[in-house]
């Protein structure tokens, strides 16, 4: 019942964090943290929508950095074995 009356505009957040595709990963992650945002709209050099960068994307990048050349799944197993 309520879902037929509820629209995206009624619940969405209009306070967006926008970043550019050429920005440094660390800088964007810092902006997400500082602004307490879960995602950022990524713009190309013309200011057009390029994509969305999420905190999950940032976490995945961190895992890849920590794993280095290792397979991320193997890296996880290595550090979680008891």
pLDDT at residue 24, as a whole number: 94
- Measured CA to CA, the distance from residue 76 to residue 82 in angstroms comes to 12
Q: Which residues pair with 69 in a beta bridge?
A: none
pLDDT at residue 77, as a whole number: 78
pLDDT at residue 2, as a whole number: 63
Q: Which residues pair with 18 in a beta bridge?
A: 41
Quote the pTM value. Answer: 0.74
């Amino acid at each position: 019942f309520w879902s037929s009356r509820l629209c995206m505009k009624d619940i969405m957040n209009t306070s967006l964090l926008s970043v550019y595709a050429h920005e440094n990963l660390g800088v964007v992650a810092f902006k997400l943290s500082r602004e307490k945002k879960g995602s950022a709209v990524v713009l190309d050099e013309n200011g057009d929508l390029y994509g969305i960068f999420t905190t999950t994307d940032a976490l995945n990048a961190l895992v890849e950095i920590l794993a280095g050349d290792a397979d991320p799944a193997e890296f996880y197993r290595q550090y979680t074995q008891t």
